[in-house]
């Protein structure tokens, strides 16, 4: 009696399972948003590419990685590598997690590298927690009655934890729940209350509203975009004058309409706090000189003016009104008005004739 079954041949793929064959990484694709991440330096991108291309079979301790980079001619000391790793971690490309080591039968720390921060659960969880806390504060501010509903909306979470503390989930189900609650997909802005926001790089520019898990906040916990775009309670004519001033600054420091509207309230607030005359009475050339001073070190001209506005000096110091009180060091350099007399770099570098 003959068997009806026949031995499987090497061409019979229908009865086999497909699995990805192992092979070392050969290429890394860096998207535009990643390359132009403001908080990353060029050397950070190089190290990230090297980590993504690294053969998983090689030792991956910090010392081993540094030794390999140095063997390729890179200047990579311990402090430099640590600084790079911190920036990559803040941008969501590295995550330090605790895993169970079968060999030692105990937990151990592992640093995982990600090309796309949206796949970094630790980074995403931090962003969700920060976004929820900010949105809760906004809802509380808009509810003057202080109703009990507001208290129920408060989210008591810490970074890295699930927001549903009473019904914890794990794995893909937990990630799916978090995505539904925030209505975002990896790579999109996590500000659910601002659907106009475009897709930004994984980490924020210095003065742009961002979905970063480390938003720039003041002591009250509010975001710069919230503080600067609400008008600050200034009269429309004052805001209009401040916007006009910012748009008329000498290129490349001049602002467009949107940026001027954003930073006009901040300019008026800083002027008031630092004792400057009103926007109608102040010497515009003096104010312009102050908010565009010392541009050296700023890679993007657009970041200079917002930084100087936030750090606006006292009017008495700028004008020299307080010299009798021991502030003579704040006198402007007569040859280089953009700098102060004391410590003027150009004067120090001038070779005597």
Token readout for 48 is 């990230």
Centre a 10 Å sphere on the Cβ of residue 191 and count the other Cβ atoms it contains. Answer: 22
- Specify the pLDDT at position 155: 44
Q: Tell me the DSSP string of 103-120.
A: TTTEEEEEEEE-SSGGG-
Q: Which of 87, 73, 79 is nearest to 45 (CA)?
A: 87
Q: Tell me the DSSP string of 262-328.
A: HHHHHHHHHHHHTTPPPTTTS-HHHHHHHHT---TT-SSGGGHHHHHHHTPPPHHHHHTTTGGGT-G
Q: Which residues contact 97 (CB under 8 A, 6 or more apart)?
A: 109, 110, 111, 112, 122
Q: Are 192 and 131 in contact (CB under 8 A)?
A: yes
Token readout for 164 is 């549903």
Residue keyed to tokens 């010497």: 283
Token readout for 113 is 């590298």
Which fold, 24-115? Arc Repressor Mutant, subunit A (1.10.10)
What letter would DSSP give residue 38? T
**Bridge partners (DSSP) listed for residue 111:** 96
Residue keyed to tokens 């210095």: 206
- Specify the pLDDT at position 7: 59
- Specify the pLDDT at position 2: 53
pLDDT < 50 regions, the chain:
146-201, 203-229, 322-329, 353
Could you tell me whether strands 106-113 and 94-101 are parallel, antiparallel, or unpaired per DSSP bridges?
antiparallel
Residue keyed to tokens 């420091």: 253
Domain ranges for the chain: 24-115, 116-163+172-191+210-215, 228-319
- Specify the pLDDT at position 139: 54
Residue/partner pairs of 205-210 with CB below 8 Å, 24 or more apart: 205/38, 205/303, 206/38, 206/300, 206/303, 206/306, 206/307, 207/302, 207/303, 207/306, 207/307
Sign for the pseudo-dihedral over CA of 48, 52, 53, 58: positive
CA of residue 35 relative to chain centroid, distance: 14
Q: How far apart are CA 222 and CA 229, in angstroms?
A: 12
The per-residue pLDDT for range 192-209, each reduced to its tens digit, is 444 444 444 454 444 433
Token readout for 68 is 């390999």
Residue/partner pairs of 147-151 with CB below 8 Å, 24 or more apart: none
Q: Are 136 and 154 in contact (CB under 8 A)?
A: yes
- Specify the pLDDT at position 309: 92
Q: How far apart are CA 121 and CA 108, in angstroms?
A: 18
Q: Are 91 and 203 in contact (CB under 8 A)?
A: yes
Q: Are 125 and 159 in contact (CB under 8 A)?
A: yes
Q: How far apart are CA 118 and CA 199, in angstroms?
A: 12
């Amino acid at each position: 009696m003959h068997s009806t079954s026949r031995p499987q041949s090497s061409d019979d793929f229908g009865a086999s399972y497909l699995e990805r064959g192992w092979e070392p990484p050969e290429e890394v694709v860096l998207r535009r948003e990643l390359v132009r991440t403001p908080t990353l330096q060029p050397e950070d991108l190089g190290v990230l590419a090297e980590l993504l291309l690294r053969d998983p079979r090689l030792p991956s301790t910090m010392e081993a990685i540094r030794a390999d980079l140095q063997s390729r001619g890179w200047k990579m000391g311990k402090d430099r590598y640590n600084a790079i790793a911190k920036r990559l971690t803040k941008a969501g490309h590295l995550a330090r997690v605790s895993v169970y080591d079968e060999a030692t039968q105990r937990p151990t720390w592992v640093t995982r590298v990600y090309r796309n921060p949206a796949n970094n659960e630790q980074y995403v969880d931090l962003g969700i927690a920060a976004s929820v806390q900010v949105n809760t504060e906004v809802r509380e501010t808009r509810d003057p009655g202080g109703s009990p509903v507001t208290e129920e909306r408060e989210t008591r979470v810490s970074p890295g934890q699930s927001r549903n503390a009473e019904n914890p989930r794990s794995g893909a189900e937990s990630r799916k729940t978090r995505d539904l609650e925030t209505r975002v997909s990896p790579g999109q802005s996590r500000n659910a209350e601002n659907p106009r926001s475009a897709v930004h790089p994984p980490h924020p520019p210095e003065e742009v509203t961002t979905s970063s898990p480390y938003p720039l906040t003041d002591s009250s916990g509010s975001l710069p975009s919230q503080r600067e775009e609400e008008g600050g309670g200034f009269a429309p004519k004052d805001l209009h004058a401040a916007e006009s001033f910012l748009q008329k600054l000498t290129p490349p420091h001049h602002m467009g309409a949107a940026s001027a509207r954003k930073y006009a309230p901040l300019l008026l607030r800083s002027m008031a706090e630092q004792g400057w005359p009103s926007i109608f009475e102040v010497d515009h050339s003096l104010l312009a000189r102050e908010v565009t001073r010392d541009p050296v070190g700023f890679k993007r001209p657009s970041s200079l003016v917002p930084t100087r506005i936030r750090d606006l000096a006292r009017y008495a110091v700028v004008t020299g009104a307080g010299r009798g009180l021991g502030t003579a060091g704040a006198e402007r350099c007569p040859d280089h008005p953009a700098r102060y007399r004391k410590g003027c770099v150009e004067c120090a570098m001038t070779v005597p004739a």
